[in-house]
Amino acid sequence: MSDTIDLIAERLDEAARTATAVPQLTEPLALDDAYRVQAASLARRYARGQRRVGIKMGFTSRAKMAQMGIDDMIWGRLTDGMVVPDGGSIRMGAYVHPRVEPEIAFLLKSPLAGRVTAPAALAAVEAVAPALEIIDSRYRDFRFSLTDVVADNSSSSGFVVGAWAPADTDIANLGMILNIDGEVRQIGSSAAILGHPIRSLVEAARLAEAAGDPLQAGDIVMAGGATAAEALAVGDHVRLDVQRLGRAEFRVEG
Ligand code: OOG
Ligand code: MG
Do 103 and 135 touch, CB atoms closer than 8 A? Answer: no
Residue nearest to atom 8 of ligand 1 (CA): 155
Confidence of residue 125 (pLDDT cuts 50, 70, 90): very high
Q: What is the b/e burial string over 114-123, where b = at least 16 CB atoms within 10 angstroms of the residue's CB?
A: eebeeeebbe
Alpha-carbon span 135 to 112, nearest angstrom: 25
Mutate-to-test residue for ligand 1 from 68, 139, 140, 157, highest number of ligand atoms within 8 A of CB: 68
Model confidence pLDDT, tens digit, residues 230-244: 999 999 999 999 999
Q: Which ligand is nearest to the CA of 70?
A: 1
To the nearest whole number, what is the mean pLDDT of the chain? 97
What are the residues whose beta carbons fall under 8 Å from the beta carbon of 78, sequence distance 6 or more? 52, 53, 54, 55, 56, 156, 159, 220, 222
Transcribe 20-35 into DSSP letters.
Answer: --BPPP-S---HHHHH
Which run of H or E residues covers position 105? strand 99-108
Model confidence pLDDT, tens digit, residues 13-24: 999 999 999 999
Mutate-to-test residue for ligand 1 from 56, 59, 220, highest number of ligand atoms within 8 A of CB: 59
Alpha-carbon span 45 to 52, nearest angstrom: 9
